[in-house]
Amino acid sequence: MPPLNRRNGTGSDHWISLSDIMTALMMVFLLISIIYMIKVKESIDIPRIFKADEQQLYSQLEKKLKTKLTNATN
């Protein structure tokens, strides 16, 4: 009579492949989340760059107008 806790070897083989599939699925989700975080970071940086450029242009315009207005009044 064979022992009760011994199996033929076919019962636990599918768990190895299932864990490999779950690991691969986890890696896919991790990759997707990293790509999403990079895209969100880029979309946040664009308005900051635009704001800095806008302020720089405003200050340059203000300097030019001041010099032209002071030259016109003299």
Q: Is residue 24 part of a domain?
A: no
Q: Is residue 33 part of a domain?
A: no
pLDDT per residue over 1-40, tens digit each? 555 555 555 556 667 788 899 999 999 999 999 999 999 9
pLDDT per residue over 36-63, tens digit each? 999 998 888 888 888 889 999 999 999 9
Q: Is residue 73 part of a domain?
A: yes
- How far apart CA 26 and CA 38 sit, in angstroms, is 19
Q: Residue 56's domain spans which residues?
A: 44-74
Q: How many independent structural domains does the chain possess?
A: 1
**What is the largest distance, in Å, between two alpha-carbon atoms of the chain?**
116
- CA distance to 30, 37, 44, per residue, from 34 (Å): 6, 5, 15
Q: What is the pTM of this model?
A: 0.49
